[in-house]
A and B are shown apart, each in its own frame.
Chain A
Amino acid sequence: MLQDSLRRFIYGSKGFRIRIPIASCSLAAGAGEVYQAALKAVDRLGIDAEVYRVGCTGLCFMDPWVEIAKEGLPPAIYANVKPDQVATIIERYVSGDLSGAVAVRFKQGGERIPSLDELDFWRLQVRFVSRNCGLVDPESIEDYIASGGYQGLRKALSMRRDEVIETIKRSGLRGRGGAGFPTWFKWRVAYEQESDVKYVICNGDEGDPGAFMNRLLAESDPHRVLEGLIIAGYAIGATKGFIFVRAEKPLMADRLEKAVEDARKAGFLGKGILGTNFDFDVEVYRSAGAFVCGEETALIAAIEGRSRPRQRPPYPATSGLWGKPTVINNVETLAHVATIFQVGVEEFTKLGTEKSKGTKMFCVTGSVNRTGVYEVPIGTKIKTLVFDIAGGPPEGRKVKAVQVGGPSGGCIPIELADLELDYESLQSYGAIMGSGGLVVIDDGNCMVDVAKFFTGFTLAESCGKCLPCRVGMKVLSEILEKITSGQGTLEDLDLAQELGESIAKTGLCALGGTAPNPVLSTLRYYKHEYIEHVLNKRCPAKVCPKLVNYYIDPNLCRGCTQCAKVCPVGAISGSPGKVHTVNTEVCVKCGQCFSICPFGAVKKV
């Protein structure tokens, strides 16, 4: 965005704008109450300011946040704001007192508060597709247009369909939802099909636990996703598009629906778009939710009112929804398409690596100080993302590994933190880019337990259609259960390895074939943890309940009796005011004493 148009967004038409990100994540952190408090405060203080709804910047650790910008003063950002602080913050800001602000968006003079660009978590990002997130009102098509929106569509419509496809080919854009398949290739195949009806679908299913960049993007800048979908529709000659969203993400679906309505009114959808002979319309489809719907043939089945994936080929690009040529692109991919046409291919290709151009949004969660969604050039090092941007682990914790790519991905040991995040290098180390979920695992987490978690997830989500996934994952999960209960043998480790490799080779759909990845990758890098569970019946991280014993530290116990009261089997003895003890013979290791003790006297060994 240009500097003066940026200023216009920051200060607004009244020259005084208070911006509050309203998205699912910030609402969960209390942004709704902060927004109401800001409205009241402005009214009570008699200030002529707009309280302005914007999308989310992805800096989750600051939620809820408030940005206040009055002409003459630098826009100041306040983090973790509570409703009762809002009025004071505004009052102080107006008087020129910026104390309490964590950053200013840009400096006006010699402020001591750092500008966003001086902070690593902002400076090291390249906000290409997320450029509008946190700046514009996601429910305002005017805001989007003012930021250069729908210029990409205009440009695309002035080109022939094959030229549009050629442009995306030149950009080298690869799918941002999983395997990194070249976007232009799918388009080209669908374009070449002779068919009266063709479809494009935006895959917004996003079922990976720990990945929410698509939700964030669609809730914060829905028109960008829609514009990309319309361009894709034009490129292949489709007449209808769908945006596939989970019913359990209602705000995402609502905002996309609003965007569709407004775009239709503005002539970006419907008959003869922008005076051309291109007719195209879009429907937001609210899915009833199943992890496997992220897989394209299962997604198509859902729209058709059925369930479960099917064998490919034929690929959807030749025979997809209701047997017609269908292109399915991820939310972030389509946002890239719109942005590439808005700002030009060169802006995109100058970012990224030789084989993978552009940027990728990553959700960094787990053991880090700055949980959030960060957009970085492809090829950024793991350590830059985990330590410099996300701030590393909380004090006293040591990072052990990063899990990349969700249930289809794998763990990368932190010793490999110099590794660059791109499709090929992640794959060669046993993980995948996937949708870009990156969970940081620390020394308090057990790698066998992590593998068990993902196996349990995929087992529950297996559609049951074919044997390797349905039965194989069940057996794999039983082996892990055995190991984490101290019943495992070394043969079990070999069996897990062999079974995992067979499932990977024989699974029908992408999800079945990648389901054993978490087990295979932890076996590859953390076999010693498995062996510790098997041979010494010990869980080094003290996570697996059956391998943990509880005892009460006599120096810390105050004899409050709470543990004895909560114990379901009467394993804790002691009288009020006296030190309590756990009878390990009777203890069922439920951990209730551990969680209830107010003095931290109950310890795990």
Chain B
Amino acid sequence: MDPRKLVRELVSRYGPDRGRLIQILQEVQKEYRYLPRESLEEVSKELGVSLPEVLNVATFYHQFRLEPVGKYIAYVCFGTACYLKGSADVYEAMRRAAGLNDGRSTTEDRTLTIEKARCFGCCSLAPVVMVVSSDGTERYVHGRLTPSEARRLVSTYRSRALRSGGVGVASG
């Protein structure tokens, strides 16, 4: 569906209420896995909130992303317990294995996105990596990881993404 049309539908469902801004953005992201530019412009128009203010909210909260993501998203937990048990090494090992050497977080072929995350509250399993499919249907938690196990996760999920034929392309 056209992002603008989706926004108009959401606004008519929730009402043109500024207090629904975050909920509407959550719904848009559920559909596209990120917030396409047109959707933000439409939200601004429909709710009568300036575009900079919409962008302010969209960039302030961690849940929102402004760029398309990979088929799988690997969240490396950077909570205190995970950090003390080596999550920084796990993160670096995964980025290297995925060939993410510059500031990017998504692989060229859009099979995998690697990001730091805040505490999942699974501290007994530290260090933890949670992998979710970008459509939200799959969710896996890997605990007590070493850097070499983490490297293997990268190849596992990248090949799984290719096998399932899908990459995390934003539709629409």
A residues with a Cβ closer than 8 A to B are 24-25, 27-29, 60-61, 63, 206-212, 215-216, 247-249, 286-291, 302-308, 363, 365-367, 371-372, 403, 406, 437, 439, 441, 445, 450, 453-454, 457, 463, 568, 590-592, 595-596
How far does the Cβ of A568 sit from chain B's closest Cβ, in whole Å?
8
9 closest residue pairs by CB, A with B: A212-B121, A288-B61, A60-B124, A209-B79, A305-B21, A365-B123, A371-B124, A28-B141, A365-B81
Which of B103-111, B143-151, B153-161, B164-172 sits within the interface?
A: B143-151
Size of the B side of the interface (Cβ < 8 Å), in residues, is 43
Which residues in B have their C-beta under 8 angstroms from that of A28?
120, 122, 125, 128, 130, 141, 143
Q: In the complex where A307-B57, A307-B61 touch, is A439 in contact with B81 (Cβ < 8 A)?
A: yes
Q: How far is the CA of A290 from the CA of B146 in the complex (A)?
A: 29
How far does the Cβ of B99 sit from chain A's closest Cβ, in whole Å?
12
Q: How far is the CA of A389 from the CA of B80 in the complex (A)?
A: 20
B residues with a Cβ closer than 8 A to A are 17-22, 25-26, 56-57, 60-64, 78-81, 83-85, 89, 92-93, 96, 117-126, 128, 130, 141, 143, 146-148
How far does the Cβ of A390 sit from chain B's closest Cβ, in whole Å?
11
Q: How far is the CA of A206 from the CA of B60 in the complex (A)?
A: 17
Which residues in B have their C-beta under 8 angstroms from that of A363?
123
Chain B residue at minimal CB-CB distance from A62: B124
How far does the Cβ of A446 sit from chain B's closest Cβ, in whole Å?
10
A290 touches B61 (CB 8 A): yes
Q: How far is the CA of A548 from the CA of B20 in the complex (A)?
A: 51
Q: How far is the CA of A305 from the CA of B56 in the complex (A)?
A: 11
When A and B form their complex, what is the total count of cross-chain residue pairs whose Cβ atoms lie within 8 Å? 135
Which residues in A have their C-beta under 8 angstroms from that of B130?
28
B118 touches A291 (CB 8 A): yes
Q: How far is the CA of A288 from the CA of B57 in the complex (A)?
A: 10
Q: Given A29-B122, A288-B25, A595-B148, list of 10 further CB < 8 A pairs? A: A25-B121, A27-B141, A210-B123, A247-B26, A304-B19, A363-B123, A365-B81, A439-B80, A453-B80, A592-B147
A24 touches B120 (CB 8 A): yes
A304 touches B18 (CB 8 A): yes
Chain A residue at minimal CB-CB distance from B24: A305
A307 touches B121 (CB 8 A): no
Chain A residue at minimal CB-CB distance from B18: A305
How far does the Cβ of A511 sit from chain B's closest Cβ, in whole Å?
14
Chain B residue at minimal CB-CB distance from A598: B148
Q: How far is the CA of A305 from the CA of B128 in the complex (A)?
A: 32
| Residue in contact with A288 in the complex, picked from B26, B117, B146, CB distance below 8 Å | B26
Which residues in A have their C-beta under 8 angstroms from that of B118?
207, 209, 248, 289, 291
Chain A residue at minimal CB-CB distance from B118: A209
Which residues in A have their C-beta under 8 angstroms from that of B25?
288
Q: How far is the CA of A60 from the CA of B81 in the complex (A)?
A: 14
| Residue contacts A-B, CB under 8 angstroms, 28 given | A25-B121, A28-B122, A61-B124, A63-B124, A206-B121, A209-B81, A210-B80, A210-B81, A211-B121, A215-B121, A247-B26, A248-B63, A248-B117, A249-B121, A288-B64, A290-B60, A305-B17, A305-B21, A307-B60, A366-B123, A437-B80, A439-B80, A439-B84, A450-B84, A454-B80, A591-B89, A592-B147, A595-B147
Q: How far is the CA of A27 from the CA of B142 in the complex (A)?
A: 11
Instruction: Select the residue from A247, A454, A463 with max chain B CB neighbours within 10 A.
Output: A247
Which residues in B have their C-beta under 8 angstroms from that of A365?
80-81, 123-124, 126
B57 touches A305 (CB 8 A): yes
| Residue in contact with B80 in the complex, picked from A307, A308, A406, CB distance below 8 Å | A406
Instruction: Select the residue from B63, B92, B93, B121 with max chain A CB neighbours within 10 A.
Output: B121
B89 touches A463 (CB 8 A): no
